[in-house]
């Protein structure tokens, strides 16, 4: 499973520890943090930033200055998505497990936004197995998005489909749709509109917009937003690209030149993908390092971690030990 876990510590004070998790499809219960007996009362109380200081090592840390908005309902989540699409001026970046094949309104809003603003760029990252699964009418996420690529070109619209290296060769041919998804999925859930990031566990489909409750936080910060845009772009370097093509499917998939195909050479794919991710994570850690001593008890910190075990990236596990 590939995903990203977000940890936000909001205005933490001694004995008031607020940790919000947006976990992957099968969330793990975070370990309990035990404070010493001295942390209950008095001036010797252990400050929260001392408790969480270890989390600031080995990962990028973002000090969030703007209030964090917690969205309460699926309908509010959908309205925020549409609002973000309509008002984005520079870029829209959507990362999800899939986009529901019935989400024609959402895609129409993307189309309208691209038509209104010729400087707008759109990036979409989905899982390849889930994103190419067809419904009863033969429609899929890939087929839904391919016309945007055709109309506006790859310079402005990029649709990435990450494919697990665990399913290749004869196994890929043998396993049918839906069942093949048990081998591993990409399901980072982050929706970026310029400097705004909505972090959630929700996918982009009708049930998540109407009656399937999830968690949603909107964070406004240019550096935090840029981190996620660059994360998606990095994963896109070793993902299939959706292009307009095959008449039957409504699209075609292509790997970038010089990148190993995970369905044909999974071992080389893992090596190349691990190298790209390691470079990205190392750079992000250096650019957004925060000294533990500079953290105030009034600071709000956002610490994104990436878990891609099949590629040897295990930041979630390191933080949860």
Query: What Rg do the C-alpha atoms of the chain give, in angstroms?
Result: 20
How far is Cα 252 from Cα 63, in angstroms, rounded to an integer?
A: 41
Query: Residue 118 CB: number of other CB atoms within 10 A?
Result: 8
* 282 given a catalytic annotation: no
Among the listed residues 187, 226, 316, 319, the single catalytic one is 187
From the candidates 49, 163, 194, 196, which is the catalytic residue?
Answer: 194
- 189 a catalytic residue: yes
Q: Does residue 86 carry a catalytic annotation?
A: no
Cα(18)–Cα(308) distance, rounded to whole angstroms?
A: 26
Q: Are 22 and 188 in contact (CB under 8 A)?
A: no
Catalytic: which of 49, 189, 288, 319? 189
**Looking up tokens 């055709």, which residue turns up?**
150
- Which pairing describes strands 121-127 and 157-162: parallel, antiparallel, or unpaired? parallel
Task: Give the DSSP letter of residue 127.
Answer: E
Helices then strands, counting H and E runs in the chain, come out as 10, 14
Question: How many CA atoms within 13 Å lie on the side-chain side of 18?
Answer: 13
Please identify every residue annotated as catalytic. 187, 189, 194
């Amino acid at each position: 499973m590939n995903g990203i876990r977000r940890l936000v510590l909001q205005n933490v004070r001694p004995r008031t520890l607020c940790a919000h998790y947006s976990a992957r499809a099968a969330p793990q219960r975070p370990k309990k943090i035990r404070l010493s007996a001295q942390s209950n009362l008095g001036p010797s109380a252990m400050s929260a930033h001392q408790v969480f200081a270890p989390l600031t090592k080995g990962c990028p840390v973002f000090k969030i200055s703007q209030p964090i908005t917690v969205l309460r309902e699926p309908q509010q989540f959908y309205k925020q998505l549409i609002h973000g699409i309509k008002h984005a001026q520079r870029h829209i970046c959507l990362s999800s497990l899939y986009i529901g094949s019935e989400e024609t309104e959402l895609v129409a809003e993307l189309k309208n936004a691209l038509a209104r603003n010729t400087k707008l760029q759109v990036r979409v990252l989905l899982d390849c197995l889930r994103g190419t699964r067809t419904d009863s009418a033969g429609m899929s996420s890939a087929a839904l998005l391919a016309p945007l690529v055709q109309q506006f070109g790859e310079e402005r619209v990029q649709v990435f489909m990450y494919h697990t290296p665990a399913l290749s060769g004869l196994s890929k041919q043998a396993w049918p749709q839906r069942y093949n998804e048990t081998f591993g999925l990409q399901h980072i859930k982050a929706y970026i509109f310029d400097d705004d990031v909505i972090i959630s566990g929700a996918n982009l489909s009708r049930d998540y917009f109407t009656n399937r409750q999830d968690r949603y936080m909107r964070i406004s910060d240019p550096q935090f937003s840029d981190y996620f845009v660059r994360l998606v772009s990095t994963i896109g370097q070793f993902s299939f690209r959706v292009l307009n093509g095959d008449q039957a499917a409504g699209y075609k998939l292509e790997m970038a030149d010089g990148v190993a195909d995970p369905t044909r050479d999974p071992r080389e794919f893992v090596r190349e993908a691990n190298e790209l991710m390691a470079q990205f994570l190392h750079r992000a850690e250096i650019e957004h390092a925060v000294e533990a001593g500079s953290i105030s008890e009034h600071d709000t910190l956002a610490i994104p971690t990436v878990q891609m075990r099949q590629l040897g990236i295990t930041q979630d596990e390191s933080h949860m030990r």
